[in-house]
Every structure is written in structure tokens, then in C-alpha cells.
Copies of this chain bind each other. A is one copy, B any other.
């Protein structure tokens, strides 16, 4: 062993995450990352390989950040009410400090929708699949609904969640609240 690192990888990745979250992948340059992460290019490359590596780690860091909300959602047991609460928790997390950055995962999902990046695409796929399963599970709490209704409503809610995340970048808190409330009136 020789000289010690002067930074903590987890800490600089959190800073990188915020830059990617705000600007997306393509609109974030290595220069910006250098500045925001507080370390220079050499350190970035030796720790994370390349820009893509920094992005993948940033996504993981974001998933960790939203994990508590997911766990809360998973462990809840009121059915539809839990889904609604999950929607509120999600927009709360993303709109702190007047952020207007939307949801990092949804932003990434959109930016890479026409891309051929298998790694990112699979990360997105599994995330969305998990969310859909969870929503279906909560919907099934209401045993009066048949399978077809549940699938339709799951599609509806998944798309609503996606749209909400995208739209939350440009809409006010009140507009978002109105949206969520009416969204669940329809079920």
C-alpha cells in the first residue's frame, strides 16, 4: 500500500448523482463532474472507470436514496391507500428545496428510451417490473376486483406514476396534488 485516497467514493458519487439528476447523462460533462465531485479526472477514472461507470454508480446511489420509501410501501397493508401514499412520498422526495429535477430514474428511463445501452436499460426494466409487481400486489388487497381490472388499473397507475415524475419537473405542488387526488378517484 501507498498513499491514501483523499475522498470517499460514496460521497463523491452522491455529488455526481445530483449533477446527472439535474442535467441527464449527455448534458453532463466530465468538466462538470470534476467540479461538482471535487476531485479531478484522474481520480474519477481510477475510481469508476469512465463516465458511464460514474452514471451507473449514481443510479445505484439514487436507488439507495429511494429505498426507504420503497420499503415503507412494501410493508404497508392498506391496499390502494398505500399506493397513493407512495405517490406522495415519491414526489415529496424529489421536490425538496424546490428542486424541479423530477425523478432521476424516470428521467433516465426517458433519456435512454431510444438508446441501445443494455446495462442502463436492464437497470430500468427491473426497477419498473418491481414497481408493477408491488402495485399489483397492493391492488389485490381488494378481493372484489377481477384479474383483468387489476391489470388495467396497474397499467393506469404505472403510467400515471411515470407521467407524474416527468411532469413534476415543470408543475407546481398544487397541480401535483390535484393530479394525485383525482388519479385515485378513478379507481
Query: Would A162 and B152 count as touching, CB distance under 8 A?
Result: no
Query: Would A159 and B186 count as touching, CB distance under 8 A?
Result: no
Closest chain B CB from A187 CB (angstroms): 8
Q: Which B residues touch A176, using CB under 8 A?
A: 159
Number of copies: 2
* Residue A22 at the chain B interface, CB threshold 8 Å: yes
Bound together, the chains give a CA A164 to CA B109 distance in angstroms of: 14
Give A152's nearest chain B residue, CB to CB: B178
* Residue A61 at the chain B interface, CB threshold 8 Å: no
Q: Which B residues touch A170, using CB under 8 A?
A: 109-110, 113, 162
18 contacts between A and B (CB under 8 A): A26-B27, A101-B114, A110-B110, A113-B169, A155-B174, A155-B179, A156-B179, A156-B182, A159-B164, A159-B175, A159-B176, A159-B179, A160-B160, A162-B170, A162-B171, A163-B163, A163-B164, A163-B166
